[in-house]
Amino acid sequence: MIDALIAPFVDFAFMRRALLGCIAISVGAVPVGVFLMLRRMSLTGDAMAHAILPGAAVGFLVSGLSLGAMTIGGLVAGMAVALLSGFVTRVTALKEDASMAAFYLISLAAGVMIVSTQGSNVDLLHVLFGTVLALNNDALILLCSITTITWFTLAVLFRPLILECADPQFLRSVSTLSAVTHFAFLALVVLNLVAGFQALGTLMSVGLMILPAAAARFWATGIGGMVGVAIVAAIVSSATGLLLSYHYSLPSGPAIILVAGAIYAASVVFGRHGSLMARYLPRPHLAS
């Protein structure tokens, strides 16, 4: 049993690189997912994940499956959608969720069209679902660098981010950091989705960002606790998904996200705070 859990990572370098890449994504993207959840912007993360697709597709057309070109293209497209949706929200009567949905649908359709017309079905699957088992050293350096940038930025903006989660109107009234915090946070979302895109593709990357964060809400109440639980859940999901992929010849990205989904489902039922059991079953010290 122990051999089945450890041997794939000991014997194969591609499995070790895949695990290291997933750990980097977990440590970097999951705290951003916690703040997305607290700000009630979880679906915004999904929208931004689709928004990077046309930029990555253009990078693919220019340089093929080039890490640098697809990363730069994804960053440009994601930032453009974030800024455009914010601009439309500020100058028109359309709400932010509606403008974001409109831009992400356009971006998704454009990206799929570009890849489908200029590439093969294999290229389209690579862009949409990623190739975590094919991560190279350059991709790992990129993922670890984005994780470092994320933690540094969160450390600098930690207090404004917490205050914006609790009362954004108050933050606007007492500080000039409101706009800076908002757009810096959106930049972190895009940056980490681009990182996740390298391993899990545009359709799966947001799953490792949001599902562990949602599961952590049932086990911890403080932000620090939620971040810690969510990171552990994401790393466990990654390792388990990779092992399932190795032993049963499953697609690695969907396997990782499905394990994260199973952890979320278990948390909904058995979690300590707000779960089904916590709400509807009496606690021992309250039982008659």
pLDDT of residue 288: 44
Region for 169 from its dihedrals, namely left if φ exceeds 0, alpha if ψ lies in -120 to 50, beta otherwise: alpha
Low-confidence ranges of the chain (pLDDT < 50): 287-288
Please choose, from the candidates 278, 233, 272, the residue with its C-alpha nearest in 3D space to the C-alpha of residue 256: 233
| Closest C-alpha to 163, from 39, 14, 41, 11 | 39
Residue 93 φ/ψ, nearest 5 degrees: -85, 0
- Do the Cβ atoms of 275 and 269 come closer than 8 Å? yes
Q: What is the pLDDT of residues 11-54, one digit of tens each?
A: 999 999 999 999 999 999 999 999 999 888 777 777 787 788 88
Say whether pTM exceeds 0.85: yes
Domain boundaries of the chain, sorted by first residue: 2-286
CB neighbours of residue 251 within 10 Å: 18
Please provide the distance, in angstroms rounded to a whole number, between the alpha carbons at the two ends of the chain. Answer: 43
Cα–Cα distance, 188 to 191 (Å, whole number): 5
Q: What is the pLDDT of residue 121?
A: 62
- What is the greatest pairwise CA distance in the chain? 70
Task: State in words which class domain 2-286 has.
Answer: mainly alpha
Asked if residues 200 and 207 have their Cβ atoms less than 8 Å apart, the reply is yes
Output the six-digit token pair for 277: 């059991």
pLDDT of residue 255: 93
Decide if 45 contacts 210 (C-beta within 8 A): yes
